A and B are shown apart, each in its own frame.
Chain A
Amino acid sequence: MMRTLFLALSAVGLLALLIVPFVPALVYDIFVMKTLCFVLFACAFNLLLGHTGILSFGHAAFFGTGAYVTGHLVKVYGVPTDLGILAGGVVAALLGTIIGALAIRRSGIYLAMITLAMSQLVFFFFLQAPFTGAEDGLQRIPRGTFLGIIDLASDTALYYVVLCIIGAGLWVVWRTVNSPFGHVLRAIREHEPRAISLGYPVARYKIIVFTLSAGLSGIAGSLKAIIFQLAALSDVHWHTSGDVILMTLLGGMNTVFGPAVGAAIISTLSHYLDPFGAWVTVITGVVFMTCILVFRRGVLGQLQQRLKRRPSPTASTPIDTKPKPHH
């Protein structure tokens, strides 16, 4: 019963996404594309927070790196858009390996602070590097063609390409969570010393998931750069790192696609509340506090909880917030 309801909801959601370019009067396709980028970003981020129990406070570094790398390659070196996006993901993943390898030497708040510090370094790099245009951003990135056949200058064509890539990214996230690898990640989240005692190379697992999360975040950033034809400092700013945490918590960090719901809510709020000017931040804050106080598991987490009698492995109890021993 519950499963059919979920399938029906997903089908309706997918159908709605498919017809977006045909109903410009109802919803604006570029807004949906932007939201989709944040959907992938938040779900990739949640691989760390929700599924491994690592709080990274510097994920904008990967998102922004993807955007700048893709933008620069496509604009200056004329790299095809598809390869540019791939390169954005790869460079972000490499950066993720480096930052991850440093950060996982500590845990909890110390880990978060290391990622924040590293992401500030990345921010400073993009502020100062000669090719980024500093606060003016990297402007007029050509959209080019996808795989040499699809002309991305058309918003509709771009929309479906973005939808496909985001879909593939989300599939990777889903597959990761529901794999033996994902089970080990949850074991690490629930009881790290025990995972170690069982013989799992915990550090290596953490670095791999860090790399994966960073790479997918980078692809989300790359897509955003292609959609808006610009990469800007706001993409690497710590506000963006904060936003993605907000989206994840709001949607439900113990679900696979909860962060997607959170991303959609935050984007929609900031888009449609625009006439309220400065009040947007206040309203978002109130919504966030209400959600955290009323349904701690997040929107989707709470929904699943309501519908499910027996929690599945992907919808287990929230992270244990008691202090853990440090290693």
Chain B
Amino acid sequence: MPAKNTLKTIALSSAVLSIGSVSSAMANDDYSDDLVRIGVLTDMSGIYSDLSGEAAVTAVEMAVEDFGGEVNGVPIEVIHGDHRNEADTGASRAREWYDSEGVDMINDLSNSGVALAVAAVADERERHAIVNSSSNVDLTNEYCSPYVTHYTYDAHSLAHGTGKSIVEDGGDSWFFLTVDFAFGIGLEEQVSEVVRDAGGQVVGAARHPLDTSDFSSYALQAQASQADIIGIASTGADAINAINALAEFGVTPDQQPAALLLWYDDIHSLGLETAQELLLTNAFYWDADDDTREFSERFHERTGRMPNMAHAGNYSSTMHYLNAIEAAGTDDSAAVSEKMREMEINDFFAEDGYIRPNGRMVHDQYLWEVKSPDESEYDYDYLDLVTTIPGEEAFQPLEESTCHLLDDE
């Protein structure tokens, strides 16, 4: 009897399911589930939660609200999830979202391991993923996909932006403080190449483990190297600790630190006293012009903080995605992907930005210098523009990309 009942249940439920899928397919030809659902997959609880986290969700929600909450009459919904900085957790969440929750696009994706894993899922399931807060250039090379867009920055733009501009300004001997991880070493190698190509020299490097709190010996090595520029190839807490140590040991007035991936928020936590004169490449600064200020002040009202480049990228990329849906008249991934790569991006975040066939969004990057406490006139007034790096120079030239999509053309 129980076995018979179970069979009945299975038969019933599969019948219900198949009817469900047929009816949903019939009801809308152009919009899956009559809904455009955006998933923000980010770090809600770990080391990147301050850089992206809840504020990233807010940025995407703001874009949806500003867009009007619906596209061509179809409502837009935003959900969010935590990948806990584990590639498998991220990949399984992404799969579940695409497969059974009708998510059309996943945004943010802090942590390169997670971003690569989710990009693989997006490619397989033919749904969109937009990477805003991780740097791995493999996303637009070996692992590129028509459905994956790498939006805000990447390791290439950081290395080329910072490295080249500094050497041209006369900082031609370099020493690196590098986190002993694929990310740090890759960044160090790229910047070294740029520095040598531009006529500078690399006099040495010290590698430290992830989550180092005592940088004293590394700071002394940097001092002994007598290099003009101390390149800091780490991010987050490590970069903050390194910069603090360089200041404490009196390295900084004579030798200038250049942070290869420093976030706006890091300067806020370091304070201008310590961070002053630091050079950094960022794709966005809230106080750049009226448009950025308008967005940033609204963002500040909702989150109590100023947006960093990833938050601005989250907003801008979501807007671009929705514009592409509107233009395509469908949320079909292939059609939207085509529109996204066809339409230019012109908003507070990017001017004449465009997405290459390999998924790289090309837009200008900026080299900034941190102000001294005297120069700072109001709250959050931290950065001075040193130079604008045109997108074509900042990002990897298309002919160097190993993306398989480029072979087909």
Partner-B contacts on A (CB < 8 A): 15, 19, 22-25, 28, 30-31, 34, 127, 133-137, 139-140, 224, 228-230, 232-235, 274-275, 277-278, 280-281
Contact = CB atoms under 8 A, between A and B. Distances in A.
Contacts of A139: 87, 113, 116-117, 120, 143
Interface string B1-31: 0000010001001100100000000000000
B82 A232 contact: no
Most chain A CB within 10 A, of B6, B49, B92, is at B92
Interface stretch (B95-103, B245-253, B393-401): B95-103
Contacts of B157: none
A278 to B, nearest CB: 4
A234 B86 contact: yes
Contacts of A19: 6, 10
Contacts, number: 96
Interface string B60-86: 000000000000000000000110011
Contact of A229 (B17, B81, B120, B136): B120
B137 to A, nearest CB: 11
B380 interface: no
Contact of A137 (B13, B87, B93): B87
26 contacts: A19-B6, A24-B99, A25-B17, A28-B92, A28-B100, A30-B96, A136-B87, A136-B112, A136-B182, A136-B183, A137-B113, A139-B87, A140-B120, A140-B143, A224-B88, A228-B88, A229-B91, A230-B91, A232-B86, A233-B113, A234-B85, A274-B81, A274-B93, A275-B81, A277-B49, A278-B45
Contacts of B87: 136-137, 139, 228, 230, 232, 234
B96 A22 contact: no
A167 B248 CA distance: 59
B45 A28 contact: no
B92 A31 contact: yes
Contact of B44 (A24, A25, A278): A278
Nearest to A133: B182
B248 to A, nearest CB: 28
A24 B18 CA distance: 11
Interface in B100-123: 100, 112-113, 116-117, 120
A234 B100 contact: no
Contacts of A31: 92, 96
B35 to A, nearest CB: 16
Given A230-B88, A230-B91, A277 B120 contact: no
Contact of B117 (A23, A230, A277): A230
